[in-house]
Structure formats: structure tokens, C-alpha cells
């Protein structure tokens, strides 16, 4: 059984669409019959909240594990020691007959500020144990250059950059490059850039110009399809629904078509990498 390819969705800029793309792409792959694990390492736990309904999540927290237990298997403060296993830390979620596995996050991850040396390697060690069970493992990163993002870097084969084509977000790209360079220097290994995906796109002249500029600067690295800004994304998240299963019509259908195209290009780019 071939091992999963691990891809982090990274951008140090907040609110650009990382989680929306991570969840959308994960479900799209799952709906194509791929075995997918989505790893949430953001203390905001937005991907977890989107995919897992509240009752299931609260029940899970009572006697199962989250990514916090992977970072701190010996416990911190009031959190009981725990040795997470795939069965105790991965939630299988079924929607529309398709399965997506989630390694959930928790707000308590914020307590993990003074972690001992070596903590950054724990996620990789855990994921190495489950790699053979999946074709794709996607990691939804927080918008910070933190222990979490560095752990994702150390765990991944490649990274994908969701980007909002507004001037301020584009200005963040050199900062991201610098952060990735810093990680490469620390780790002594490079991470393959799978590409950039435009998210929350509006048909304004400014955004169109910005996209042209980025496509020129990052020639060959920007995905063809773009995700448009549309109402209905937050509602789908609120109902724990994949975007693909939302019944909202109109412009929302363009988002579904875009996710389909992005997924196809994603798989092609991964195949070229292997």
C-alpha cells in the first residue's frame, strides 16, 4: 500500500481562505473515493468545527484525543496524560455516503506555548504511523509562524498556498517565502511548493490586475481555477456540510466547479511530484 502524500495549507496571512480550501479539497478528494485525512493544527479549530458537528465533537472530547495529545502525550496542567492512537484521535465523518477522517484540534492547543524541545517532531511521528492508511493527508495550518506551522512543515512533503488576490495579502507572499526559508534552514530540508490557489476572488479590476501580476511572478505555480467569493460558504460551515453538498444554487455552483478543477490539478501536480 503506497504511503499518503502529506500537504500543508500554509499562509501566514489570516483569513485568506486556508480552511475553506482545506475542507473543500479534502471533501472533493473524499468524494472521488480517495482515502483522506484532514489534520487541524489551528487552535481556532475552524476546520474541526466545520466538518464535525458539535454534539459529536463534545462527546469526542470526553474520552478521546485531539491533536493536543499528540503534541503533549504526557499532559499539561489540568489536561490528563494520554497516549493517542489512530483510533483514539481520528474521527471518521460520513457525509453523502463519503468518508473523510479528521484529526481534530481544540482551543486548549493555545496552552501549548512553552513546549519542551522535540515537541515539533511529534506530529510527524504520529502521521508516519497512519500514512499507509491514506492517499492524502492535508494539514490546515494557523496563520502564524508557530510551533504548529513548523510541525506541519516537518510532517509534510509539499505545501499549498491559498491566497486572496488583494494587495495586502499579496504583500504577505515575500513574508511567507521568508518564513519557509527559515523553516528550511532549521530543518535542513526543503518543502516542495505545490502551488498557489486564489480564494475569495471578486471580479473587480484591482483583483484581476493583482491575479495577473501574481501569475506572472509565480509563473507555472498558480492553479488555473479560482474560488470566487460567494454567500453560502459560512452557512455550509455552520451546518457541517461539505460545500459540494450545499443546495445553494446560482453563483455557488461556480465554487463547486472550481473545487472540482482545483482537485484535478492538485492530483496532477502531486502525480508529477512522485
Confirm or reject binding of residue 149 to Mg ion (CB under 5 A).
no
CA angle (223, 224, 227) in 5-degree steps = 80
14 binds, among Mg ion, ligand ATP, none (CB under 5 to 8 A by kind): ligand ATP
- Residues 79-98 within binding reach of Mg ion (CB under 5 A): none
Contacts of 53 (CB under 8 A, 6+ apart): 240
* Contact stretch for Mg ion (CB under 5 A) within 15-23, 111-119, 145-153, 250-258: 15-23
164 binds Mg ion (CB under 5 A): no
Q: Put the strands of the sheet holding 192-198 in their side by side order.
A: 91-95, 98-103, 36-40, 136-140, 5-9, 158-163, 192-198
- Binding site partner of 108, from ligand ATP, Mg ion, none, Cβ cut-off 5-8 A by kind: none
Residue 188 burial by CB count (10 A; 0-12/13-18/19+): exposed, middle or buried? exposed
For residues 29-58, which are near Mg ion according to CB under 5 A?
46
Local structure of 226: helix, strand or coil: coil
DSSP string, 59-93: HHHHHS--HHHHH-TT--TTSPP----HHHH-EEE
CB of 65 to ligand ATP, least distance (A): 22
Please say which residue, 19 or 105, places its beta carbon nearer to Mg ion: 19
Q: Figure out which of the listed residues 5, 7, 17, 19 binds Mg ion, where binding follows CB under 5 A.
A: 19
Q: Residue 99 or 202: which CB sits closer to ligand ATP?
A: 202
Closer of 108 and 135 to ligand ATP (Cβ): 108
Which residues are near ligand ATP by CB under 6 A? 14-20, 42, 44, 46, 142-143, 199-200, 227, 229-230, 233-234, 237
Quick one: 68 or 227, whose CB is closer to ligand ATP? Answer: 227
Which listed option, Mg ion, ligand ATP, none, makes contact with residue 226 (CB within 5 to 8 Å by class)? Answer: none
β-strand pairing of 5-9 with 98-103: unpaired
**Phi and psi torsions of 110, nearest 5°:** -65, -25
Evaluate whether 76 touches 111 at the Cβ level (below 8 Å). yes
- How far apart CA 165 and CA 159 sit, in angstroms, is 19
Taking a C-beta distance cutoff of 8 angstroms, is the pair 158, 191 a contact? Answer: yes
Does position 18 interact with Mg ion (CB under 5 A)? The reply is yes
Phi-psi group of 12: left, alpha or beta (phi > 0 → left; psi -120 to 50 → alpha; rest → beta)? alpha
In the complex with ligand ATP, the residue whose CB is nearer, 196 or 237, is: 237
Helices 167-187 and 147-155 cross at an angle (nearest 10°) of: 70
Using the minimum distance from each CB to ligand ATP, give the nearer residue, 44 or 119.
44
Quick one: what does residue 122 bind among ligand ATP, Mg ion, none, with the CB cut-off 5 to 8 Å set by partner type? none
Minimum separation from the CB atom of position 9 to ligand ATP (A): 8
Residues of the shown chain interacting with Mg ion in the complex, contacts defined by CB under 5 A: 18-19, 46
Amino acid at each position: 500500500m503506497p504511503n499518503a502524500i502529506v500537504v500543508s495549507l500554509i499562509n501566514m496571512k489570516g483569513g485568506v481562505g486556508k480552511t475553506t480550501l482545506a475542507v473543500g479539497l479534502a471533501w472533493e478528494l473524499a468524494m472521488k473515493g480517495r482515502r483522506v485525512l484532514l489534520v487541524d493544527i489551528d487552535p481556532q479549530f475552524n476546520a474541526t468545527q466545520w466538518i464535525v458537528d458539535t454534539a459529536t465533537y463534545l462527546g469526542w472530547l470526553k474520552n478521546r484525543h485531539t491533536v493536543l495529545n499528540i503534541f503533549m502525550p504526557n499532559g499539561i496542567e489540568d489536561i490528563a496524560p494520554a497516549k493517542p492512537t489512530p483510533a483514539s484521535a481520528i474521527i471518521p465523518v460520513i457525509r453523502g455516503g463519503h468518508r473523510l477522517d479528521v484529526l481534530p484540534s481544540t482551543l486548549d492547543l493555545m496552552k501549548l506555548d512553552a513546549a519542551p524541545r522535540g515537541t515539533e517532531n511529534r506530529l510527524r511521528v504520529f502521521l508516519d504511523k497512519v500514512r499507509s492508511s491514506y492517499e492524502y493527508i492535508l494539514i490546515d495550518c494557523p496563520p502564524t509562524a508557530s510551533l504548529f506551522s513548523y510541525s506541519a512543515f516537518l510532517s509534510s512533503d509539499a505545501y499549498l498556498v491559498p491566497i486572496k488576490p488583494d494587495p495586502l495579502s499579496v504583500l504577505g507572499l515575500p513574508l511567507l517565502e521568508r518564513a519557509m526559508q527559515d523553516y528550511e534552514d532549521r530543518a535542513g530540508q526543503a518543502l516542495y511548493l505545490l502551488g498557489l490557489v486564489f480564494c475569495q476572488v471578486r471580479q473587480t479590476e484591482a483583483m484581476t490586475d493583482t491575479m495577473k501580476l501574481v501569475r506572472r511572478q509565480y509563473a507555472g505555480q498558480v492553479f488555473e481555477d479560482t474560488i470566487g467569493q460567494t454567500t453560502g460558504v459560512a452557512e455550509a460551515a455552520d451546518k457541517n456540510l461539505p460545500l459540494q453538498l450545499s443546495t445553494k444554487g446560482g453563483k455557488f455552483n461556480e465554487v463547486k466547479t472550481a473545487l472540482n478543477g482545483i482537485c484535478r490539478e492538485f492530483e496532477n501536480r502531486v502525480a508529477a511530484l512522485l
